[in-house]
Structure 1
Amino acid sequence: MELKLEVVVLPVSDVDRAKAFYEGLGWRHDADFATDRGLRVVQLTPPGSPASIIFGEHLTDATPGSVRGLHLVVTDLAAARAELAERGAEVSEIWHDQDGVFHWADATNRVPGAHPENDSYASFASFADPDGNEWVLQQVVDRLPGR
């Protein structure tokens, strides 16, 4: 049975601010609707992604900004970083992990610059939305078998 990730819910404090931020990054606007019960749902999709994000009003009780480590896979990390910065995201410098294993919660393990021996799965940059929900850019040039 196939199980495909379709949507990730992001907790935000200001729906219109979050919508403007993600649209400013060039993400496709898929939906923005409200119901009679006060529910509002905004859906956006990163360029080239089959999965989307949704956020809104009365959608989740998670703390705004509490999502960490969502990965966006890119083939050219430097170019993706530059484009996101041009579009208004505060993107970190590129880094790799000291021991070759990604520890998103342990910034002390990060070494500045791209990984010197591996173009795939080992170099990262990150940014956050206005609420602090964290995104990680991961460079993948050659995918592992089965991916």
Structure 2
Amino acid sequence: MDMKIELVPIPVSNLDRAKAFYVDQVGFHDDYDIPVNENLRFIQLTPPGSACSIVLDLNLTPMAAGAVQGLQVVVDDADAVHDLLVANGVEAEPVEDLPWGRFTYFADPDGNRWAVQQLPPRE
């Protein structure tokens, strides 16, 4: 039996600002932006190449805006992603070399924090 993580809620305080950040600055795909009712707007975004998406959350969960810490994406080239983020106005930390990979980190406007990992070469 397969169990795949499909959708992760990201609590934000402003849907339009968060969507612009993730799509225009980070490069996520804009999958859906659907007004469900007067209290719910469903915005699903997907990192390039990912099978898992995020949903921007004003009131889907009780989490406060900025509560998500440590979400991680894996990339082929941490330096290239870092440079792209910085060029798009994202405050990304310098790439750090660790035994388990190369990392850069960034946060969205609400403080949800992401890690970007380049896996070490397989031996």
Q: How high is the TM-score relative to the length of structure 1?
A: 0.76
Deviations 1:87-146 (A, max 9, x none): 221100122xxxxxxxxxxxxxxxxxx24xx5xx322110000000000011115469xx
Deviations 1:50-105 (A, max 9, x none): 1100014322220100100001101111111111111221100122xxxxxxxxxx
C-alpha distance in 2, partners of 1:133/1:43?
16
Structure that is richer in strand per residue: 2
- Aligned to 2:11, the other structure's residue is in SS state coil
The answer to whether structure 1 residue 127 and structure 2 residue 106 are counterparts is yes
For residue 10 of structure 2, what is the aligned residue in structure 1? Answer: 10
C-alpha distance in 2, partners of 1:88/1:15?
19
Contact kept? 2:102, 2:120, Cα under 8 Å? no
- Aligned to 1:10, the other structure's residue is in SS state strand
- Aligned to 1:125, the other structure's residue is in SS state strand
| Overall identity of the aligned pairs, in % | 43
> After TM superposition, what 4+ stretches of structure 1 lie above 3 angstroms from structure 2?
141-144
Count of residues in correspondence between the two structures:
122
The answer to whether structure 1 residue 66 and structure 2 residue 67 are counterparts is yes
C-alpha distance in 1, partners of 2:37/2:5?
28
C-alpha distance in 1, partners of 2:111/2:12?
9
Which sections of structure 1, spanning at least 5 residues, go unmatched?
96-113
- Higher radius of gyration, 1 or 2: 1
